[in-house]
């Protein structure tokens, strides 16, 4: 974590390529720190569930202690990135591009917190995620529709709607809107950014076809009925869910 802490001590001005590189390195570094713990949490919850069903109370007690330790580590990592973003990165972000990048990153880690929380704290994590993503969306409107942070935000917001709020319809609409806007300006993308832009657009296009465009996923298992809830209604009815694949 020494390299991550040194980020806050940067004094000299950075050129645009250098700044972009450092932002990406920061994002990758923190993602690597948390990805392994998220995977471990997913595995240990699965084991805990199986051992509970078997009635192995001694094993369950040991597993629970380990699970709590992993959840605490995830919480601590998220707190570090929140502090770094709120205290250093956002206050010093001079461009809308950077602001969207950091707000998206902050929203991502609130989304990760959702899976290490329970009860009211879990619901609050969802509300915080949505609020931060929406704030980033407002700023992103000032950027070209092919801007990489803007596309990345749309990609992760659609993932949030799909996996956390369990709304395929809103996820698909979010992805489709971003894709349709970007495709009309693709010809204007600079050569050095073209490959990355196309890659994100391809990932976004995959979201449009989730379970068939325009359909709505079931929320939980409530009577097996389809739900047609407004976004904040879904936030207030968040239930325990398994960890999704890392993203």
Cα separation, 233 vs 37, in Å, equals 30
- Name which residue leads in pLDDT, 64 or 19: 64
Distance CA 204, CA 159 (A): 10
The answer to whether residues 65 and 103 belong to one domain is: no
Q: Is residue 7 part of a domain?
A: no
- 109 shares its domain with 186: yes
Domain boundary among 40, 63, 92: 92
- Using DSSP, state whether 230 is helix, strand or coil: coil
Q: Which of 50, 75, 92 is the last residue of a domain?
A: 92
Q: Which helix (H) or strand (E) holds 200?
A: helix 191-208
148 CB contacts (<8 Å, ≥6 apart)?
193, 196, 197, 200
74 plus 111 within the same structural domain: no
Question: What is the pLDDT, as a whole number, of residue 4?
Answer: 47
Residues 105 and 175 in one domain: yes
Helix 168-183 × helix 148-159 angle, to 10° = 160
Domain around 137:
96-242
Q: Residue 4 falls within a domain, yes or no?
A: no
Burial class (CB in 10 A: 0-12, 13-18, 19+), 38: buried
Is 5 a member of any domain? no
Cα(164)–Cα(174) distance, rounded to whole angstroms? 15
Compute the residue count for the chain.
247
Asked if 106 and 206 sit in the same domain, the reply is yes
Do both 132 and 193 map to the same domain? yes
Q: What is the pTM of this model?
A: 0.77
**Residues 73-130 pLDDT 10s:** 999 999 999 998 999 889 989 999 999 999 999 999 999 998 888 888 989 999 999 9
For the record, the structure tokens of 242 come out as 């398994």
């Amino acid at each position: 974590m020494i390299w991550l802490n040194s980020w806050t001590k940067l004094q000299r001005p950075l050129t645009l390529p250098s700044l972009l590189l450092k932002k990406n390195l920061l994002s990758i570094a923190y993602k690597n720190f948390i990805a392994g713990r998220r995977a471990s949490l997913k595995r240990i919850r699965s084991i805990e569930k199986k051992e509970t069903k078997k009635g192995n109370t001694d094993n369950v007690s040991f597993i629970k202690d380990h699970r709590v330790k992993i959840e605490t580590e995830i919480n601590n990592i998220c707190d570090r990135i929140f502090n770094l973003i709120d205290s250093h990165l956002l206050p010093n972000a001079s461009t809308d591009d950077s602001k969207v990048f950091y707000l998206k990153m902050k929203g991502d880690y609130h989304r990760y917190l959702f899976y290490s929380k329970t009860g009211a704290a879990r619901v609050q994590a969802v509300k915080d995620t949505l609020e931060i993503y929406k704030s980033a969306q407002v700023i992103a409107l000032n950027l070209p529709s092919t801007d990489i942070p803007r596309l990345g935000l749309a990609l992760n917001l659609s993932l949030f709607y799909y996996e956390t709020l369990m709304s395929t319809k809103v996820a698909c609409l979010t992805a489709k809107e971003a894709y349709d806007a970007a495709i009309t300006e693709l010809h204007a993308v600079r050569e050095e950014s073209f490959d990355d832009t196309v890659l994100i657009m391809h990932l976004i296009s995959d979201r449009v076809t989730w379970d068939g465009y325009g359909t709505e996923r079931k929320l939980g298992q409530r009577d097996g009925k389809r739900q047609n809830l407004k976004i904040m209604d879904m936030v207030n009815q968040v239930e325990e869910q398994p960890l999704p694949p890392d993203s």
